Amino acid sequence: MSGFMDLRDLAGDVVAFGGAVSNAHAAEALIAELAHLGLGAAPMVSTGDHCAYCAEPARTLALLRERGMWSIAGNCEESLGAGAGDCGCGFATGTACDLASGAWFAHAAAAIPLEARDWMQGLPRLAAFRAHGRRWGVLHGGASAVNRYVWPTDDDAVFAAEIALLGRTVGPVDAVLAGHCGVPFRREVGGRLWLNTGALGMPPHDGDRRVSYAIIRAGGVEMRRLGYDWRGAQAGMRSAGLVQGYDVCLETGWWPSEDILPAALRRAPARAVSG
Ligand SMILES: [Fe+2]
């Protein structure tokens, strides 16, 4: 795992995404949509976590690599590349994510070829690129920790601190491309943009089963939702025994793991019990 990769100037529009999470059907749909949009050769930058909850880690990774994506390492690449025993998300023992990750991590670890593990180990933790006149820094969860959850509900100070820390390694940036938390959002802090594209392979807990990515265009960032063959992805998960809740999420658009979310982002915020 190296520290930092500078991609320099990327020409034209840039496709930004993260969290393909072994969802090869979604990866295929993205590649097809980009071709349809005339972006079949556009640069693609990913924040990592290519292999996680769904059934096809090897095929997902192969599709995205063949398409020529640039990527940093997510916690999933760090753990799978190192042959670790879990995904490194840092979930508390007994949470829904902790229980689900045991199943998918074992599935992914068994399915990924040695060459792909070596590729994962060679990924940098941070990156930078320039597109349409702005310099972007790329990180997974945070600059302070690969598995840090930075939520749209966090205070400005959280973003400012992470951006400052990122700058120590990559130099000054106008914008940050982030992943890990799975919620697509954008935030302006101190004149800098923080963009999380959400996950390409899992919908963002809003009841809409479409997944998400972004296109960095000359006129600004376009955040997009993507429909795909979720039934095919779901059937593959069920055939593989990946039935801990994320298989249902592909259909409903609601996560099984609400316990990791800040209260304000939950479907049913906890109410105080009186009397
Ligand atoms: Fe992650």
How many whole angstroms from 257 Cα to the centroid of ligand 1? 14
Among 24-28, 32-36, 88-92, the minimum mean pLDDT is found in 88-92
How many whole angstroms from 241 Cα to the centroid of ligand 1? 22
Q: Which comes out higher in pLDDT, residue 27 or 257? A: 27
How many whole angstroms from 179 Cα to the centroid of ligand 1? 7
Q: Which fold has domain 2-127+200-265?
A: Purple Acid Phosphatase; chain A, domain 2 (3.60.21)
How many whole angstroms from 148 Cα to the centroid of ligand 1? 8
Q: What is the DSSP string of 14-65?
A: EEEE---TT-HHHHHHHHHHHHHTT-TTS-EEE-S--SSSSS-HHHHHHHHH
% of the chain exceeding 70 in pLDDT: 91
How many whole angstroms from 76 Cα to the centroid of ligand 1? 6
User: What is the domain partition of the chain in residue ranges?
Assistant: 2-127+200-265
How many whole angstroms from 30 Cα to the centroid of ligand 1? 20
Q: For the segment 151-193, what is each residue's pLDDT rounded down to a tens digit?
A: 999 999 999 999 999 999 999 999 999 999 999 999 999 999 9
Reduce the DSSP state of residue 74 to 3 states and report it.
coil
Q: What is the pLDDT of residue 139?
A: 98
The whole-model pTM stands at 0.93
How many whole angstroms from 32 Cα to the centroid of ligand 1? 25
How many whole angstroms from 275 Cα to the centroid of ligand 1? 40
Q: Nearest to residue 57, comparing CAs of 117, 118, 127, 121?
A: 117
**274 pLDDT tier (thresholds 50, 70, 90):** very low
How many whole angstroms from 199 Cα to the centroid of ligand 1? 10
How many whole angstroms from 177 Cα to the centroid of ligand 1? 13
Q: Nearest to residue 196, comparing CAs of 240, 153, 233, 235?
A: 153
Q: For the segment 222-257, what is each residue's pLDDT rounded down to a tens digit?
A: 999 999 999 999 999 999 999 999 999 999 999 997
How many whole angstroms from 36 Cα to the centroid of ligand 1? 29
Angle CA 10–216–179, to nearest 5: 100
